[in-house]
Structure 1
């Protein structure tokens, strides 16, 4: 069977899954939060909730630049999927002198552990392997598009890169092993994925954060959510919200064939941010007094 036919079948099945995954009723998440004051403050402007793998240097430079240009503006960083991992890792790292204007972070649908998450993507269940293939080919295409710089002779010699191994890589771990971990100076893939995972930095997070995941996420199985559940139960200023349905960054609501144009996630973020801002500014005032 040709690749085109397989792709067409996969697109059809994904479309059907998307329709079946639309919730006709407003969703009510489960909350994991030790700090009840933080929870109540965050939910103050969101009553409908209560009622029904990486480098952080670029992120740091961007935030410093924003803070410099808008010194009176408070910043809440929001990361989606692996962007959520990046935000959490950044807030848990000690090597950055973060701008004081960064008052909170939000992570949505991240896997927390790059090593385990990558292993999950190697399975065919929920078409994870197909997603991994598409992701691998996209990254590979980006590398080859800039081959003159990324695979120049001096670069290949400096990092011991073998171009044919990069081109023939069929999965993300193979591509990371052939290229990414080498140019980042890691001895092996395990060391690289461990360094990339926010799970190993999360206990150092002192900035208020909200984490959101769904239990039916095809890319992030439920066992990867256990660490964040336990973390939210044991630390102040941390809220973890878990929904039964939502998929990976979907959270659609509405009709069976056509979901509402504004998803649950869009509405939720708009209503959560004023509460977390108020909580953070209140903490800043208390600190200033003492």
Structure 2
């Protein structure tokens, strides 16, 4: 499919989820409780959205798993020069980011994406995520630098404004969304927030069991959402 949107990816863009939540709530009616669960970058978008909405949020509760909170901290971790990143993680991330743009090189329609279409060749030659963000996402958001985009996209700036029950599950050994980016003090000061910070789990790898490992975070999410549904 030709790329027709100027915003194929954005860690802080909340208009899509805002529209979806409103649509679902309008279709479901006032008696139905709507909750949402976000993972990784999706968790950041969800957290930022819930904070932006504040007391007007249509969701009854939200859960964020491995939320980066501070996009600059996460970005530095993702782009760090080490064996795991260089050989395992970065090639897959960059490949995934480029996959949604692969048709744009042959479909250079300025009307569809004037912000970055003329730089598509440089974007496709990138080897690290920050290079794509610098050439693509900063321009889309009219930001003068990556730091400005990272600050704008970071959900940590909105956590203190959340006014619905919110659970975050993160791990201390997460190399993708390091614990340094978690606004722990804001969790202590906002009574709507709960933080489950465990020693091990990596990034979205909260496994338990030996012969047949299973994701254990499913159970606390079920318990939390079930409890919120009964309020």
| TM-score of Structure 1 vs Structure 2, range by shorter chain | 0.7 to 0.9
Partner residue of 1:211 out of 168, 191, 203: 168
Q: Which runs of 5+ in 1 are unaligned?
A: 1-52, 282-290
Which residue in the other structure is 2:35 paired with? 76
Tell me how far apart the structure 1 counterparts of residues 226 and 111 of structure 2 sit (CA, whole Å).
51
Tell me how far apart the structure 1 counterparts of residues 53 and 223 of structure 2 sit (CA, whole Å).
30
Tell me how far apart the structure 2 counterparts of residues 216 and 126 of structure 1 sit (CA, whole Å).
16
Moved over 6 A (4+): none
Tell me how far apart the structure 2 counterparts of residues 205 and 241 of structure 1 sit (CA, whole Å).
17
Partner residue of 1:87 out of 43, 46, 57: 46
Structure 1 residues 245, 157: CA separation in 2 closer, same or farther (over 3 Å shift)?
Answer: closer
Alpha-carbon shift at residue 96 of structure 1 (Å): 10
Alpha-carbon shift at residue 268 of structure 1 (Å): 1.9
Which residue in the other structure is 2:190 paired with? 235
Which residue in the other structure is 1:153 paired with? 110
SS in 1 for 2:207: coil
Which residue in the other structure is 1:259 paired with? 212
Q: Which runs of 5+ in 2 are unaligned?
A: 1-10
Structure 1 residues 94, 237: CA separation in 2 closer, same or farther (over 3 Å shift)?
Answer: closer
Partner residue of 2:225 out of 273, 276, 281: 273
Structure 1 residues 87, 153: CA separation in 2 closer, same or farther (over 3 Å shift)?
Answer: closer
* 1:173 paired to 2:130: yes
SS in 1 for 2:101: helix
Structure 1 residues 212, 154: CA separation in 2 closer, same or farther (over 3 Å shift)?
Answer: same
Taking structure 1 as the reference length, the TM-score comes to 0.69
SS in 2 for 1:153: coil
* 1:132 paired to 2:90: yes
SS in 1 for 2:217: helix
Residue by residue, what CA displacement relative to the aligned partner does 1:100-128 show, whole Å, maximum 9, x if unpaired? xx111111111111111111112244713
Q: Please tell me the root mean square deviation across aligned C-alpha atoms, in Å.
A: 2.3
SS in 2 for 1:250: coil
Which residue in the other structure is 2:151 paired with? 194
Which residue in the other structure is 1:244 paired with? 199
Higher RCO, 1 vs 2 (CA within 8 Å, ≥6 residues apart): 1
Structure 1 residues 212, 95: CA separation in 2 closer, same or farther (over 3 Å shift)?
Answer: closer
Residue by residue, what CA displacement relative to the aligned partner does 1:148-189 show, whole Å, maximum 9, x if unpaired? 55x423456555742221121111110111122212322222
Contact 1:212 1:240 in 2 (8 A): yes
* 1:59 paired to 2:11: no
* 1:109 paired to 2:66: yes
Alpha-carbon shift at residue 79 of structure 1 (Å): 0.5
Which residue in the other structure is 1:285 paired with? none
SS in 1 for 2:164: coil
Tell me how far apart the structure 2 counterparts of residues 108 and 175 of structure 1 sit (CA, whole Å).
25
SS in 1 for 2:37: strand
Alpha-carbon shift at residue 277 of structure 1 (Å): 2.9
SS in 1 for 2:60: strand
